[in-house]
Amino acid sequence: MERETFRRYGHQVVDWVADYLEDVERYPVLSPVVPGEVQKQLPREPPVTGEPMDKILADFRDIIVPGVTHWNHPRFFAYFPANNSGPSILGELLSAALGINAMVWQTCPAATELEELVMDWLRQMLGLPERFRGVIQDTASTGTLCALVCARERVTGFRVNAHGFAAGTEGGTLRVYTSQEGHSSVEKDAKIAGFGAENVVRVEVDEAYAMDPRDLEQRIVADQRTGLRPCCIVATVGTTSSTAIDPLTPIASVAERYGLWLHVDAALAGSAAILPEKRWILQGIEGVDSFVFNPHKWLFTNFDCSAYFTRDPETLIRALSVLPEYLKTDLDRHVTNYRDWGIQLGRRFRALKLWFVLRSYGVQGLQQRLREHIALAEEFRTWVEASEHFELLAPVPLNTICFRFHPRAEAEDELSDEKLDQLNKALLDEVNASGRIYITHTRLGGRFTLRFCVGQTQTRREHVIEGWECIRNARVVRARIESGDKGHDGC
């Protein structure tokens, strides 16, 4: 591409991005395409000769964009957010332009030094202990995998790395403990790291869906008695279903008593620790070996950007470093070479977008946005609680409300859980098909549960109000009860 052509299309693309961010509300949140619809509009064979950029961009607008579910939409209340922001997009663009590979210090000194710096900024913002050192990973799944490998190697004296799993674990089968609400990545990582899915022990939760530390200890003791070898605890701060907060202080004392590695998965909720009034979620963090959270979820930084911290970088580096001749440099003793801090060798310049975000918002700006989200979630919770036809299904410590429709018509007998599951599934499908909002579900205590998570960059009070209106005026709801806004029928 000629330089002038690049400049012309570059301006066009940036204009498109600015318009998109301004107009994103006009799109249906959830893409309405059916399976195969995107591919069927595209040729099966690659183009033999180059095509003009005008045509490529037109297809992007006409074929790709309709197949996009808009995570940037202010009425996206599904899953957990993957939010971004203007400064982050600009940082990502510059990182793409530089196209560097930050595998060792020398291959891009600025990338390594900025990464060390912004990770220490985050450490200070979250109130993590001073000895914690950070590295940016792609996702929390990868961070937890690194933690499991560290745990495995520390407990076996680095014997699995040296001799493989069979010979390295002769002292007994290694066990990993997480709560019944722990994320699926724990099981996936346990498979990849060689533990095996059946050696992930699911610890009981209390009525708030947080890990019960007494049950944790009992299971560890029971395993020891039968010759199994407790290795790692993965606690969750902000579970994916309901943002339950596992109590780190008692869990850390169990970890210490039995010599286990303690990893904390705070993928979404970690960001909330920048608020002094929410710091309690990390109480006990000094007893934790590793900790991961995703600025790409709730800190306005483009996917992907996951912050992994450890108080024991020596174990991480020893577990993961392999140093062939072609990667040695004269400076190795004086600098950080992040290739030894994670799985892959090549590394993106993710620190750049994070630096743009932290500088552009400032700590106070970030705190203000998070407080706004939390206050809106609080307000939504009060609407659910005030409605006699909806019920809350879990506490709301942060930005996510778990609830369900539970009509209490006089004439009707109490509905069974099975019937309520069906009704709520129908409600979910109806509101999502409307394109106005997007919410998702989970199961809590066996019950089909609707989740409403407030965390998008552009979400304001009017969007949350519209979300609630859409839910309580859905046809599924109106067919059962007489309340709701008379002017509306359907979401």
Query: Which is nearest to 148 in space by CA: 117, 91, 120, 186?
Result: 186
Instruction: Tell me how far, at minimum, the Cβ of 412 lies from ligand PLP, in Å.
Output: 37
Query: Which is nearest to 310 in space by CA: 288, 282, 283, 280?
Result: 288
Instruction: Tell me how far, at minimum, the Cβ of 127 lies from ligand PLP, in Å.
Output: 20
Cross-strand bridge partners of residue 310: 133, 290
Alpha helix ranges (H) inside 193-238? 213-225
**Residue with Cβ nearer ligand PLP (239 or 456):** 239
**Residue with Cβ nearer ligand PLP (236 or 315):** 236
Q: Which residues contact 468 (CB under 8 A, 6 or more apart)?
A: 380, 383
Position among 83, 85, 95, 139 found at the interface with ligand PLP (CB under 6 A): 139
Mask: binding to ligand PLP, 222-261, rule CB under 6 A, as x and -? --------------x-xxx---------------------
**β-pairing, 200-203 with 229-236?**
unpaired
Q: Count residues binding ligand PLP (CB under 6 A).
A: 15
**Residue with Cβ nearer ligand PLP (237 or 420):** 237
CA distance 83 to 370: 12
Mask: binding to ligand PLP, 47-86, rule CB under 6 A, as x and -? ---------------------------------x------
- Rg for the chain, CA atoms, rounded: 24
Which range of residues in 133-141, 367-375, 376-384, 461-469 is near ligand PLP by CB under 6 A?
Answer: 133-141
**Residue with Cβ nearer ligand PLP (398 or 477):** 398
**Residue with Cβ nearer ligand PLP (169 or 449):** 449
Q: Is 95 in the site for ligand PLP (CB under 6 A)?
A: no
Alpha helix ranges (H) inside 282-441? 295-298, 313-320, 351-386, 417-433
How many other CB atoms are found less than 10 A from the CB of residue 476?
21
Which range of residues in 3-11, 37-45, 139-147, 158-166 is near ligand PLP by CB under 6 A?
Answer: 139-147
CA distance 186 to 341: 19
**DSSP secondary structure of 102-168:** -SSGGG-HHHHHHHHHHHHHHHHHHT--TT-EEEEES-HHHHHHHHHHHHHHHHTTTHHHHH-HHHH
**Residue with Cβ nearer ligand PLP (266 or 491):** 266
Q: Which tokens go with 310?
A: 């450890």
Mask: binding to ligand PLP, 367-406, rule CB under 6 A, as x and -? ----------------------------------------
Position among 73, 75, 152, 183 found at the interface with ligand PLP (CB under 6 A): 183
Query: Which is nearest to 132 in space by CA: 121, 143, 146?
Result: 121
**Residue with Cβ nearer ligand PLP (205 or 423):** 205
Q: Is 140 in the site for ligand PLP (CB under 6 A)?
A: yes
3 state SS of 468: helix
Chain positions 260 to 319 lying near ligand PLP, rule: CB under 6 A, are 265, 267-268, 294, 306
Residues near ligand PLP, by CB under 6 A = 80, 139-141, 183, 185, 236, 238-240, 265, 267-268, 294, 306
